[in-house]
Structure 1
Amino acid sequence: MANLNIVLFEPEIPANTGNIGRTCKATGTRLHLIEPLGFQLNERAIKRAGMDYWKDVDVTRYMNWQDFLEKNPRANIYMATTKGRKIYTEVQYEPDCYLMFGKESGGIPEEILKEYPDACVRIPMVGETRSLNLSNSAAIVLYEALRQNQFGGLKLEGQLHRLSWED
């Protein structure tokens, strides 16, 4: 089973964090929040986006980037950034890796990216598009990591209740 992690560096918009939390709950992924946050975790907007799943999300908060590093010294981190030289599908995600995303207004600071140039991955976009929505980006990269790890622990098949596939 994959034990993936999503790291949000100083997220600013509660609805994005709530949506990501819901995705984490649905995939068994741990959520790591690096402060300062642009909102309170008890805000209605985060709970609305995370729906009734938010209370069950495995969330860890950190005072800052250094605190995160100290508490996760062996974290294998992949950083989603428009400055990445590799496409997010060109790396091999380990089952316990950390997928990091920056704040909505500015991404992951360049001083951090410069420390991890080989860990920077990019989602392709047309022309000069600045970025995708944070929760969309997190879902895209997370599901690629899950796919590479055979969706370990996730339900792979659904079933229609009223109709049969054979009808």
Structure 2
Amino acid sequence: MNVVLVEPEIPPNTGNIARLCAATRTRLHLIEPLGFRLDEPSLRRAGLDYWAHLQWQRWPDWTTFTRALPPDARLWFIEAGGPRLYTEVRYHPEDYLVFGRETAGLPRALLEGQPSAWLRLPMFHPRVRSLNLANCVAVVLFEALRQQGFPGEYRPADNPSAHPAV
């Protein structure tokens, strides 16, 4: 799987998402401009020592990223207000889950240009406009992995010398 963060702004969110991607062997794509430096301590702290296990790429802008995609790439844009729930699609192993900035989300033109790929997480309180970005990524990514049968799952029981860490 691929997780794409378009212009992320909050270092601990990106750090948590990096840790999630490392744990699930999901490739992380960071689309600039970033709202922080990649050497920022809070980014590294949130990702702990998992950055060494992360497959990731930094892109200078959306256009450069999309030009590098394979012709058959499937992008899913996760943003409030989408016409479909994130559970209503069938994810493939090479899909791209695209998330926007914490304060502004994804550009409206991008969403309206791809209405069948615009997905939402359900919200239940009218005064709460969104969920934390790292939580959204985790929810959608694990649904995609669940649909695929959690391929390549590693369990600590497979390695008795491993110790569980949270």
TM-score using structure 1 length: 0.90
- When structure 1 is superposed on structure 2, of 57-66 and 44-53 the one drifting more is 57-66
Alignment-mate amino acid for residue 149 of structure 2: Q
Aligned-CA RMSD value: 1.4
Partner of 1:119: 117
Please give the alpha-carbon distance, in whole angstroms, between the structure 2 residues aligned to 1:132 and 1:122.
11
TM-score using structure 2 length: 0.90
Please report how far the alpha carbon of residue 64 of structure 1 lies from its aligned counterpart in structure 2 after TM superposition.
Answer: 0.9
Q: Secondary structure at the match of 2:104?
A: coil
Aligned length: 157
Q: Secondary structure at the match of 1:60?
A: strand
Partner of 2:164: none
Structure 1 unaligned residues grouped into runs of 5+: 162-167
Please give the alpha-carbon distance, in whole angstroms, between the structure 1 residues aligned to 2:92 and 2:100.
21
Q: Secondary structure at the match of 2:29?
A: strand
Please give the alpha-carbon distance, in whole angstroms, between the structure 2 residues aligned to 1:51 and 1:44.
10
Please report how far the alpha carbon of residue 127 of structure 1 lies from its aligned counterpart in structure 2 after TM superposition.
Answer: 2.9
Q: Secondary structure at the match of 2:28?
A: strand
**Is 1:50 equivalent to 2:47 in the alignment?**
yes
Please report how far the alpha carbon of residue 56 of structure 1 lies from its aligned counterpart in structure 2 after TM superposition.
Answer: 2.3
Please report how far the alpha carbon of residue 57 of structure 1 lies from its aligned counterpart in structure 2 after TM superposition.
Answer: 1.2
Alignment-mate amino acid for residue 77 of structure 2: M
Partner of 2:6: 9
Alignment-mate amino acid for residue 45 of structure 1: S
Structure 2 unaligned residues grouped into runs of 5+: 161-166
Partner of 2:38: 41
